[in-house]
Amino acid sequence: MKQTDEILVFKQVLQVPFEYSAGPVVSKFLVALRDEKKILAIKCAKCGLVYLPPRSTCAKCSAPMADWVELSGRGTLETFTVVHYPEPVQPMKTPYILGVVKLDGADTGLPHLIGEAEEKDLKVGMKLEPVFQENRTGHILDIKYFRPLK
């Protein structure tokens, strides 16, 4: 039998339904979005960094975190891009704007959709506020998008 160096490649689409557990930290964040339209961050008691989205362990000093902080939701646009390519998993029809918003009181940026604005009107450093979905389900998209502060 002759050995070959031929490499076969097969293209196939897999559909794997699954359920994802957000865990206790992210669940608390999502429940607050859903039930109270509150944006909660978590603060490291050791080094003082405030994370949004929240996490259970500090990325800087590895300390466990449990100190919750309620944020106003207002923040600053750190960067943005316009998405032009459609994919079935995307939450909006193209083109749409995706940005990183650093909420007042947080040390990390939150990637999210930007709405009620045209690309030409956006500037890094501008202030934004959240717009919540009317019917919330406990998902990050309970924040429908961030819009320029009026």
In this prediction, residue 74 carries a pLDDT of: 98
Separation of alpha carbons 71 and 149, rounded Å: 16
Which residues does residue 34 pair with via DSSP β-bridges, in sequence order? none
In this prediction, residue 78 carries a pLDDT of: 98
Non-local (6+) Cβ contacts of 108 within 8 A are: 49, 50, 51, 52, 102
pTM of the model: 0.85
- All structural domains of the chain with their residue ranges: 23-148
Separation of alpha carbons 65 and 36, rounded Å: 22
In this prediction, residue 88 carries a pLDDT of: 84
- Give me the half-sphere count of Cα atoms (radius 13 Å) on the Cβ side of residue 129: 6
Separation of alpha carbons 97 and 117, rounded Å: 9
CB 139 within 8 A of CB 86: no
DSSP character for 99?
Answer: E
Q: In 1-150, which ranges are E strands?
A: 39-43, 50-51, 67-71, 75-83, 96-103, 110-114, 127-132, 143-148
CB atoms within 10 A of CB 120: 6
In this prediction, residue 6 carries a pLDDT of: 81
Per-residue pLDDT of the chain (150 residues; tens, 9 = 90+): 566 788 878 888 888 888 888 899 999 999 999 999 999 999 999 999 999 999 999 999 999 999 999 999 999 999 999 999 998 888 889 999 999 999 999 999 999 999 999 999 999 999 999 999 999 999 999 999 999 998
